[in-house]
């Protein structure tokens, strides 16, 4: 049960974070956007071991 709640929590956190990123990146030039996206993916991979 605890794992199930944590999974829902993860989805909510990453969902809102994703929406925030989309809104944020809509206001930055493409070059900087790609670099930011790469950094975000690196952080996610490092944190979750994908």
Side-chain-side CA neighbours of residue 38 (13 Å): 6
Residue 5 clears pLDDT 80, i.e. is over it: no
32, two tokens = 């900087």
Query: Residue ranges per domain, the chain?
Result: 2-48
Rounded Cα distance, 23 and 5, in Å: 27
Nearest to 47 by CA among 10, 2, 4: 10
pLDDT of amino acid 49: 61
Dig out the tokens for 23 from the structure. Answer: 């809104």
Work out the number of other CB atoms within 10 angstroms of the CB of residue 1. 5
Q: What is the mean pLDDT of residues 11-40?
A: 81
């Amino acid at each position: 049960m605890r794992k199930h709640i944590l999974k829902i929590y993860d989805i909510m956190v990453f969902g809102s974070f994703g929406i925030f990123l989309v809104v944020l990146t809509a206001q930055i030039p493409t070059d900087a956007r790609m670099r930011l996206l790469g950094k975000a993916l690196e952080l996610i991979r490092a944190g979750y071991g994908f």
